Structure 1
Amino acid sequence: MPKKFTKAVKSRALKIPAIRAMLPRRAHAYCIGTAKSGTHSIEAIFRGNLRCAHESESHQVIDFILDIANNNISDDKVQRYILERDQKLRLEVDSSQLNYFLLDQLLILFPKSKFLLTIRDPYAWLDSFINHQLGRQASEHWLRLRDFRFKPELYSHPKEEATLRDKGLYTLDGYLSYWSEHNQNVINTVPKDRLLIVQTSKINEKSKEIAKFIGVSDGKIVQRNSHAFKAKQYFNVLSELDQQYLESKVDFHCRDLLSEFFPDICSDSVIR
């Protein structure tokens, strides 16, 4: 039987949930970095060699996240949803910023799973997220999730951030408090033997270490995919802010993580 035909049959078979549910796992890993930290790249380096996905069923997952936040759903129902979704997709690498919001349940339900935290320095992350926000149209689900993360009802724009307000962006407090909370909470919550922290700029360099950590050979890595989903446009919004003011906000929210992971980074590193 021709290899091309065999591959096509196998590909179609794997789309059937009942067949996927019976497949053994060669790995079971969750990438739980923030948006624009390299979650797309983590999925891409294993694409075609492992069963992996990036932000799979995102709208449904966002609905669950917001229901959890509003206390509209029981823990039992959340666990049932996660287990049913896992059985249906049977992913070996599930790479998504959304996994962060389900972290406590994932740790309990899958005690042998591993976790990857992709972390980007706060200046580059802020610049990238703003470029993404201005350069790509988002669905209503993602817009609601942004409000949930960046809390416009809590943070209003001071005069120093008028350019952010005028462009329809969130406040520095909103962005940076989320960046810090997300990353610090992962570090504090996931047991050290189940967590690998990888700086965004080093995903390619650390790809063999990533493969070893999740329990597969480095032959499963697709190096050409190690920087996926680059920005469509660069708006250079951060250059419109007072740099001392920007650095004071980063220092206030991100000081500890910045010192630990990015001691040599400052605003000059990303301002064009």
Structure 2
Amino acid sequence: MSTRAADEVLALVTDLLALGRPPTRAELEHFCLATDIHEREQVSLRSHLELRVRRGLDHRARRFQAFGVGLFRTGTFALCQLLRDYHVEHEFMLRESVELLSRWRAGEASAEELRAFVRARDEAGMLELDASGCNAWLIPQLSEAFPDSCFVFTLREVYGWVDSMINFLARRTQGMPSRVHEFLLVQCGLESFVGRLAGRDDLERELDVIAAALAGAWARHNAAILRELPPARSLVVHTDELGRAGPALTRLLGIPVAGGLEPSQRNARPRTSLSLRTLERSRLEQIFAGPCQALMADQFPGRGLDDFGARP
């Protein structure tokens, strides 16, 4: 179906929601077919549309539209807490987003399907802030579909991010849905570990190899995000400065942002965890050389391993 026809179907669904009822199953199937929404996403999409109707949310009630586009473990949840007075969600429709991005990476999803999905997901949530690690890979589609939206890029320095990701994988491997776990590993350059990274012991045995892959992913993905962000409607916030980001968010979004963050709402590192600090200083210098240093010098001038607390 043409883009124009898809727009007409999307408008129909929006009108139905504004009248206070979700689309029927037949209407939803027609909508998904017209906009290339894969059948695996249809059931979840309908449930979110129904929830949106119950909440009485429509375009007229939305005061602003923003997307949190930082990588996982950069403070996207804390960003939601800063804007908790508004309609925000953290990792909204995560499994569906991961499923589609995984199929896109494998060449099984079309560019049109990506565009359709971000619009359908928006209709389902009608969020004012949609903050998700998956949004980092959808910036062109989001920017095109929502030309009046803003983007908040939470950026964490490389040492803390790699340390946090290692511990996140160590803590969450057992309970994490397999598709989400695989997506994280692939996006972090750890394809060879898919299916054989069962927990903390596996991470500890190959800590330096995993850290090096994560450091490369940090440089690669963050550089891509910076290139793709629309400058006039974007804000870069360093993770350790989120608690002081209220005034900047007010200027970007045009809404009051009250208060800061409680200590429990910050991306704190757990006490009982693995640590890069156990590695030799010379090995850490090798891991964080190259592209990492160029981006660190640009975004975090003067920050280095000494600030991270590495051994002399």
Scaled by the length of structure 1, the TM-score of the pair is: 0.83
Aligned 1:90-129 pairs, distance under 5 A: 90-129=126-165
Gaps of 5+ in 1: 1-12, 156-161
- Equivalent position amino acid for 2:91 in 1: E
Q: Which residue of 2 aligns with 1:166?
A: 205
Unaligned runs of 5+ in 2: 1-49, 194-200
Shift of 1:196: 0.7
1:9 — aligned with what?
A: none
User: Could you say if the C-alpha distance between residues 225 and 194 of structure 1 is closer, same or farther in structure 2, counting changes exceeding 3 Å?
Assistant: farther
The superposition leaves residues 9-46 of structure 1 with CA deviations (integer Å, 9 ceiling, x where unpaired) of: xxxx9742683234432111111111111111001111
SS in 2 for 1:172: helix
Identity %: 22
- Structure 2 residue 59 is the aligned partner of structure 1 residue 30: no
Q: How many residues align?
A: 252
Answering whether residue 188 of structure 2 is matched by residue 150 of structure 1, we say: yes
1:205 is displaced (CA, Å) by 1.3
- Corresponding residue to 1:75 among 111, 114, 119: 111
Match of 1:192 among 210, 216, 231: 231
Conservation of the 8 A alpha-carbon contact between 2:64 and 2:253: yes
Q: CA deviation at 1:231?
A: 4.1
Structure 2 distance, partners of 1:167, 1:204, is: 34
Greater shift after overlay, 255-264 or 17-26?
17-26
Residues 52 and 93 in structure 1, CA contact (< 8 A), matched pair in contact too = yes
2:204–2:274 CA contact under 8 A, matched in 1 = no
Q: CA shift at 1:109, angstroms?
A: 0.6
2:240 to 186, 189, 201: 201
> Whole-Å Cα distance in 2 between the matches of residues 110 and 170 of structure 1?
40
Kindly tell me: are residues 227 and 260 of structure 1, through their superposed partners in 2, closer, same or farther at Cα, counting changes over 3 Å? farther
Q: Determine the C-alpha separation between the residues in 2 that align with 1:147 and 1:266.
A: 26
| Equivalent-residue separation in structure 2 for 1:166 and 1:154 (angstroms) | 15
Indicate if the aligned counterparts of 2:66 and 2:152 stay in contact, CA closer than 8 A: yes
Structure 1 segments of 4+ aligned residues over 4 angstroms from their partners: 162-165, 167-170
Instruction: Find the partner of 2:87 among 34, 37, 51.
Output: 51
Secondary structure in 1 matching 2:154 = strand
RMSD: 2.7
Provide the C-alpha distance between the structure 1 equivalents of 2:54 and 2:108, rounded to a whole number of angstroms: 28
CA shift for structure 1 position 236: 4.3
Return the letter of the residue paired with 2:136: Y
**Cα deviation per residue 1:55-75 (whole Å; 9 max; x = unaligned)?**
111111100111111111122
| Residue type of the alignment partner of 2:144 | I
Amino acid in the other structure paired with 1:118: T
SS in 1 for 2:63: coil
Q: CA deviation at 1:179?
A: 0.8
Aligned residue for 1:118, secondary structure, equals: strand
Could you say what secondary structure the match of 2:80 adopts? helix
Please give the alpha-carbon distance, in whole angstroms, between the structure 2 residues aligned to 1:175 and 1:77.
29
Alpha carbons 1:34, 1:118 under 8 Å: kept: yes
